[in-house]
Amino acid sequence: MPAALVRRILLCAVIAAPAVVLRVTGIHVPPVAGLLIFGASVVAAAFLLAWAAEAAQKDISGALAIALLALIAVLPEYAVDLYYAFKSGSDPAYTHFAAANMTGSNRLLLGFGWPLVVIVAYLVARKRRTGGKHPQFLQLPGKSRLDIGFLAVLAVAAFAIPLFGSIPVWFGVALIAVFGFYLWRTSQVHDDGEEEFVGAAAMIADMPTGPRRATVISLFVVSAAIILTSAEPFAEALVASGTSLGIDSYFLVQWLAPLASEAPEFIIAVMFALRGMGAAAIGTLIASKVNQWSLLVGSLPVAHWFGGGTTTLPLDGRQVEEFVLTATQTLLGVAIIIALRFHWWSALGLAALFAVQFFVTDTTGRYVLSIIQTILAVGFLIAHRRDILPTLAAPFRRSRPGPGRPVEAGAGGTS
C-alpha cells in the first residue's frame, strides 16, 4: 500500500477514534463537544467511504454492484435523517427534524455543489484555451439525459409531498421502486473508455488486484461501522447544541449535518473539474440528486413506520415550506441543464438564489422565493422546449441514450 495512502487512512482513523471511544465507553460530553467529535467522525468516515466506493468501480460492474455502491455511498448522508425519522415514530418531538437534513442536503447539492463544479470547470477550460473563443458553458454528454430525465420526473413528483402535507408509506415505496428502476436503467448504459480516478481512490485503484480488493472491503466495513456508531450521538448533539448555543436546532440539523456528509463528494467532484473532467463531476452530483429524491425521501416514511409510527410521516408547516422551496429549486436546476449545457452565468444565478435562502427566514419569503424559482424554471423550459420530450422519454427508452444535439464547444466539450 502506498505510503501516501496509509497516511490519509491513518489521519481519518485518528479523527474518528475519539467518537468510537466515547460511544464504546458510554462517556457523556457536553452537546457542543459531542457535536464536534461525532461530526468529525462522520466526515472522516465519509472520506474513507468515498475513496472505497470510487475505487471499487474498477473491479465491480453490473446492476447489483451499482445498487450496492449506491447504498453504501449515501450512508453518511442518510444515517442522520433516517435516525430522526425512526425516532419520530415513538417521539413526536423528532418529527420536526425528520426531513430537515434531506431538504438541506438537497439544496446544498444543487445550490452550492453544481455551481462550484461548473465555475471550476469553466475557469480550468478558460485557462487551458490560449486562443479563440473562450468557453461559456459546460457541455454534458448525451447519456446524461437518462439521469436528467429521472430527476425531472422526480422533481414533478416531489410537489405531491407538500400537497399531501405528509409522506405516506405507499408513496415512499413508490419512490424506492423508482430508485430501483433507475439503477437498472443506468446499468444498461455502457461507459465509453475506462474509469478515471483521482486522489486516494487512484492510489487504491493502482494497487494489485488482491490487495486492492482487500483494501476496498476493509474501508467499506470500517467506515460503515464508524458512521453507524456516530450517527445517533451526532444527531442528538445537533439538537442539544442548538438549545445550548441559543441557535435554531432546525437550522443546525438542516445545514450542519449535510456539510459533514457532502464534503467528500464535493471535494472529489472539484478534483474531477480541476482535471478538466467537468462533465463527469456534474454527472456525479446529478446522480446524487436522483438518489436523494428517490431513495432518501422514500425511506423516511418507512423508517418512521418501523420506529412505531403510523403509515404516514406527518410534516408540519415549516417542513411543507422547505419541501416546496426544495422542489422548485430542483425544477429550476432541471430546466437549466435539460439542453445538456450548463452556462457559467446560470451557475452563478443558482448560487445567488441559494445564498438568499439564508436571509429569508419567514413563511412568506420562502414562498416568494419558490415562486421566483418556478417562474425562472418556466422561462428556461420555454427556451429549451425542444429538449423536454427527449429528456422525459430517456428513462423509458430501451435503446442507449444517444448524443445530444450538436452544439458549439463549451467548457468540457470538444473543439
**How much is the average pLDDT of 24-41?**
88
Q: Quick: pLDDT tens for 372-383.
A: 999 999 999 999
Beta strands in 100-150 (DSSP E): 137-139
For 110-155, the pLDDT digits (tens) are 999 899 999 988 888 777 765 556 667 788 888 889 889 999 999 9
pLDDT at residue 69 greater than cutoff 60:
no
Tell me the percentage of the chain whose pLDDT exceeds 90: 32
- For 3-24, what is the mean pLDDT? 91
> Which three three-digit cell numbers place residue 387?
429538449
Give residue 170's pLDDT.
96
For residue range 175-221, list pLDDT tens digits in order.
999 998 988 888 776 655 556 677 787 888 888 888 888 888 888 88
Mean pLDDT of 163-168: 93
Cβ-based neighbours of 62, under 8 Å, separated by 6 or more: 187
Q: Supply the pLDDT for residue 1.
A: 78
Residues 317-371 have pLDDT tens digits of 888 999 999 999 999 999 999 999 888 899 999 999 999 988 888 889 999 999 9
Helix (H, G, I), strand (E, B) or coil at 185: helix
Render pLDDT for 386-409 as a digit per residue (tens, 0 to 9): 999 999 998 888 654 444 443 333
- Distance of alpha carbon 86 from alpha carbon 307, whole angstroms: 4
Q: Which cell numbers in the block locate residue 34?
A: 459531542
Strand partners, 166: 314
Compute the radius of gyration of the chain from its Cα atoms: 21
Residue the block writes with cell 428517490 = 294
Going by pLDDT thresholds of 50, 70 and 90, the confidence category of residue 265 is confident
Task: Quick: pLDDT tens for 216-260.
Answer: 888 888 888 888 888 888 888 888 888 788 888 888 888 887 877
Domains of the chain, start order:
3-396 (1.20.1420.30)
Q: What is the pLDDT of residue 213?
A: 87
pLDDT value, residue 188: 74
Q: Which residue has the higher pLDDT, 164 or 280?
A: 164
Apex 186 CA angle, 406 and 297, nearest 5: 110
Q: Would you state the pLDDT for residue 154? A: 95
Give the per-residue pLDDT at 320: 92
